[in-house]
Amino acid sequence: MDFFIISVLVLVITGIVIGFASGLLGVGGGFLMVPVQFWLLTSMGVDPTVAIRVAFGTSLAVVIPTALSSAWGHHCRKCVLVRPLTLMILPCIAGAFIGGTLATHLPGRLMEMLFGILVLLAAVRMLVAIPSKSGDRIRESIPLYLAWGFLFGGVSGLLGIGGGIIMVPVMVTLMGFSMHEALGTSTALMLFSSISGAVSYIVNGIGTVGLPPWSLGYVNLVQWLPLVAVSIPMAQVGVRAAHRLPADKIRYIFVIVMAVIGLHMVQSGFFG
C-alpha cells in the first residue's frame, strides 16, 4: 500500500482518538498527535529536529477547531467557569507565543524528553492528590489565575500541546476545580493557547529549510486536514461520554493515558 494512503489512514484514526479524548478528558490530544506525526515525518525523511517542531506546530493548529467543538459542548452543560477563564486568557496567549518561539530554537531531542517528563509528573500528581468534589474550594485569586494562565500557555507553546494534559491536573489538585469543571474550563482555555502557539510556530518556521511539502511555517496542512476532519465531530461524542462517567473514573483514565505517553516520549528522547 502506498505510504501516502497509509499516512492518511493513520492520521484519520489518530484524529478519531484525539477528538474523543478532547471531549472526554479536556485535552487537546497533542500527547498522541505529536508522537504519531513525528513518526510519519521522520519516515518521510524529514530531519528529526524539523519533524518534532512541525509535529508540535501542526498539533496546536489541530487543537484550535477541536477545542472549539469540545468547549461548546462543555459550555452547554455549564462546566466552563467564565471568571477564571477570562482572567487566564491574556497571560495564556502571551505564554503560548513565548513558549512557541522558544521551542523553535531548542534541540528536538530535548523537547521530546521535556514533554515526557512533564506529562509523567502531572500523572503522579493527579494520582496522589485528593480532588475537589465541587467548586466550593476554588481559590479566588486574581494573581494566581494570571500566573497559572501564563504557565499553561508557556507549556502549550513550548511542547506543542493544547495544554489540557497539564491544565486539568493543576485545576483539580491545586486550584480546587471539580473534575468536570476542569475539563470544560481547560478546553475553553486551550482554544486561546493553541491559536497563539500555532501562530508562533508559523511565524518562526517560515523559510526553514527541509520542511515537508504544503507547510505553512511549522504547520503542515497535509497532516492538519485529516486530523481536523474527524476530530471535530468526535469531540462532541467525547463530551457526551464525559458527562455520563463519574469523575473518579475519568481521573484514572487520565492518569493511565498520561503515564503511557510520558514513558514513551522520555524513552524516545533518551534513546531516539
10-residue mean pLDDT series, the chain (272 residues): 84 91 77 85 91 90 90 89 93 90 76 74 70 56 90 82 77 83 90 90 92 95 95 90 81 78 69 54
Q: Domain tally for the chain?
A: 1
Burial class of residue 259, CB neighbours in 10 A (0-12, 13-18, 19+):
middle
Phi, psi (degrees; rounded to nearest 5) at 117 = -65, -45
| Domain span including residue 190 | 3-271
Q: What angle do CA 63, 37, 172 make, to 5 degrees?
A: 40
Would you state the pLDDT for residue 262?
76
- Asked if 173 and 46 touch (Cβ cutoff 8 Å), the reply is no
pTM above 0.85, yes or no: no
Q: How far apart are CA 20 and CA 69, in angstroms?
A: 11
Would you state the pLDDT for residue 272?
55
